Amino acid sequence: MSESGGAQPRRVRVHHLRQAKERGERITMLTAYDAPTAQIFDEVGTDVLLVGDSLGDNFYGHPTTIPVTVEDMIHHTRAVTGAVKRALVVADLPFGSYEASPQQAHATAVRLMKEAGAHAVKFEGGQRVAEHVRLLTSSGIAFMGHLGFTPQSENVLGGKRVQGRGEGAAERLSADALALQEAGAFAVVLEMVPAPLAAQVTEILSIPTIGIGAGPHCDGQVLVWPDMAGLSDWSPRFAKRYGRLREALTEATRAYLDDVRAGTFPDDEHSFAE
């Protein structure tokens, strides 16, 4: 993604994403949960870093995202925002921190911005949370939507299932996306929806769509970084592995253990002389 005239923006802002959609340029997005990986992703030019509640089932060992707390999100968002210079940092509002009322959503979003330095926030839902979104955006809080498969609603949806199928599903998803746009969202994540439907939603919206398991026709793509880099022991079907970090870390750890057990580490090169 480049700014008008071809130059990379020094700091990615929400209007840069809309400009990218207008120019037909793809938007890049990855999750990030800590400073070292966020710094790497930022340095290579990732446009958006999502501090996702996916940290629950990727780093905390939870079976779902539901146990993640606001304090968890503040902790990890602060680490990411402190490490980046260019990327737009979006923080998830975790389950139970926004659903009850627009005022609850506003209070949580304010904490993520003031205490953690988030540039924008994201939570799940369409028409049912439009008033929540409207309060945030009217208060100066940038908001990214999330439709399709919504992990916090996994128990209601019957597990990790593709959404947007069946009678009326496409119309409902389109209506949800338009409701978020009208309420002031600057972008919408579409997760696990059929590619033709994602293309349709992308066409009717003036704001960018970011796909994850939603085919190639969205304005951008996002992956959970352990899936992207091959750190996870399992990845969803839609995630392409661009590295073999699990194998590399296993090999490095075994080599370290062997050296310690053999007494060859530390050696003279890795010890302090008097």
Question: Could you list the active site residues?
Answer: 191
Q: Which residue has the tokens 């746009």?
A: 181
Closest to 122 measured CA to CA, from 107, 135, 104, 105? 105
Residue that has been written with the tokens 């629950």 in this structure: 56
Contact 170, 197 (CB under 8 A): yes
Structural tokens at position 246:
């699990």
With residue 171 as reference, give the H or E element that holds it.
helix 169-183
Rounded (10°) angle between helices 169-183 and 195-204? 30
Place of tokens 């969803």: 236
